[in-house]
Amino acid sequence: MKRRVAILISGRGSNMVALIEAARPADFPAEIVLVISNRADAPGLEKAKASGIPTVVIESSSFGKDRAGFEAVLQSTLEQHGIELICLGGFMRLFTAEFAKRWYGRMLNIHPSLLPSFPGLDPHGQALRAGVKISGATVHFVIPETDAGPVVMQGAVPVSDHDTVETLSERILEVEHRIYPDALRLLASGKIRLEGEICKIEETAGSGNFLISPAAT
């Protein structure tokens, strides 16, 4: 039985599209059954519709600071659709600790840095200002703290002296689209177990190489 997944978005939804595409094959262990946006103007909504995935808008702005009120509607929507797993894809709304705890181990997020480095806003700018030579993306379980929680998968990219926020985010986005479907596959097929705050994964092959940046000539 495929696990029933909802993707939560606020914007363009490119990770959402990557997950929808990856989940199409019959042997993928999860099915994207619903896309929820907290903004009616999220461009990702049209992309979800074009892919034939039902969408729901729950405008968070109308709840103001009432996070619990927003989450009550969200929770009942998730229940109505029998959702078992949540993937956040650029969902720019903080959860209450209660909601994060309720979905602990069943809710993934992706962030464009190698966490725990550069959480929060402008991670690409943070990486450039820190002068790191390698950055990347992280899929992690959601906990009450923002952009933190057990790391499921990471992908690294080189950072060059010529990079701008735009070029770096483009490179990282490519690795995001690769690791998010892989992480969901592992979670949905029961290959992930949490040992305290550490995520352990069964049956993974080592990637078998290094990423060294810059390459010495």
Residue nearest to ligand GAR (CB): 90
* Closest CB to ligand GAR among residues 79, 166: 166
Nearer to ligand GAR, 74 or 79 (CB): 74
The question of whether 111 is a catalytic residue gets the answer: yes
Which residue in 111, 124, 140, 177 is the catalytic one?
111
Smallest separation, CB 141 to ligand GAR (Å): 14
Minimum distance, C-beta of residue 99 to ligand GAR, in the bound complex (Å): 16
**Between 116 and 190, CB nearer to ligand GAR:** 116
Centre a 10 Å sphere on the Cβ of residue 66 and count the other Cβ atoms it contains: 11
Give Cβ neighbours of residue 27 (< 8 Å, ≥ 6 apart).
none
| Signed CA dihedral, 190, 192, 196, 197: sign only | negative
Three-class DSSP labels, 166-209: HHHHHHHHHHHHHHHHHHHHHHHCCCEEEECCEEEECCCCCCCC
State the residues that interact with ligand GAR by CB under 6 A: 9, 11-15, 44, 89-90, 110-112, 147, 173, 176
Collapsing DSSP to helix, strand or coil, 76 comes out as helix
The residues assigned a catalytic role are: 111
